[in-house]
Amino acid sequence: MHSFPEPALALVETMTAAAARDPARAIAFQGAPGANSHRAALDYAPDCLPLPCFSFEDALDAVKGGAAGAAIIPIENSQHGRVADIHFLLPESGLHIVGEYFLPISYALLGLGDGPFAAAYSHPQALGQTRNYLRSRGIVPMAYADTAGAAAFVKEQGDPAACAIAPRIAAELYGLTIVDEAIEDAHDNTTRFVVLARKPLDPASLAGKVAMTTFIFEVKNVPAALYKALGGFATNGVNMTKLESYQQGSSFAATTFYADIIGAPGDPAIDRALEELAFHCKALRILGSYPQARERG
C-alpha cells in the first residue's frame, strides 16, 4: 500500500479498511483509486468494495489470501494488444476466470496547470494508446505503475512541466487540471477485463447461456503439432476467438499458447475438441468457463 504516491494514500487506506470489514464483497484491482480498473470493478459489480493494489501480483495475492472475494484484471486492449505479463501471472496465480467485462477507455491529459509539458506519466498501455497524441506535441512518455497513480505522482512531485494520462476522475481525486480530453488515438478504444476467483464456476451453471472458456496449452515438439492439436475445434464446429503464443523460460524450445473458445465443458462438441487437443499436448490447463459479456464476431 505504501508504494502509492502520498496524495493517493488516504483514499487507499479508507478503501482497504472498508474491504477488510467485508472481504467477500471486495474486488481487488491494480492501481490507485480512479484507475480504469477501479471503474471496471464498479461497473461490473456496483455493490462491490473496490480494493486498490499496487501491482497485479498484489491484486491476485489479495484473492488468494482471502482479503478479496475476486480480482478484476485487464487482459487486452483493442488498440494496444495484450497487457504485459498477464499471460504468465494468470496460470501462476492458481485462480480461475469467472467473468469478463469490456470497458470503453477514454483518457484525459492532467497537470498542475495548462502546460506546456515535457513529460507525460502513465501506465505503458495508456502511453501506447495515446502515442500519436504525445508524439505530435513533443511530450516524452514516462512509464508508471498505473494511470491514476501517475496522476497522484504528478501532484506529489509538483512539477508544472509534468503531466499524467489518466481517466478524468483522477483530476477530481488528486486536484489536477484537465488540460485536454479524449486524447486516445482510437475513439473505439476498449479494454477487456477478466474476473478471477479462488473457485471456478461449475460449467453446469452456464447451461442455456453463451459461455467462454479460456485455457493454456503446450503442444508436443513434433512437426505439425499445433495443426493437429487445433484440428478438433474445426471438425467439431467450435469457434476459437483468440489464440496467442508466448515463451516460457529461456530455452525457446517450447511455446505455450493461450486460447479462448465459445462454449464450455459439458457440451459434447467442446468435450471432444478438448479431448483431441489434450492428446496432442504436453500440458493443458483450463483457466475458467464463464458467461460471455460481448458477442464475438
Q: Which amino acid is at 218?
A: E
Q: Which amino acid is at 19?
A: A
Which one from 147, 191, 214, 256 is the annotated catalytic residue?
A: 191
CA neighbor of 41 nearest in space, from 86, 106, 103: 103
Q: Which amino acid is at 290?
A: Y
Active site annotation includes 190: no
Active site annotation includes 117: no
Beta strands in 78-185 (DSSP E): 81-82, 96-104, 108-111, 119-122, 140-143, 162-166, 177-181
Contact (CB, 8 A) for 289 and 265: yes
C-alpha–C-alpha distance, residues 134 and 179, integer Å: 13
Cell of 151: 496522476
Q: What is the maximum alpha-carbon separation in the chain?
A: 61
C-alpha–C-alpha distance, residues 53 and 250, integer Å: 30
CA neighbor of 72 nearest in space, from 47, 94, 50, 92: 50
Which one from 4, 193, 217, 233 is the annotated catalytic residue?
A: 193
The runs of H, that is alpha helices, within 175-254 are 225-235
Name the residues annotated as catalytic: 191, 193
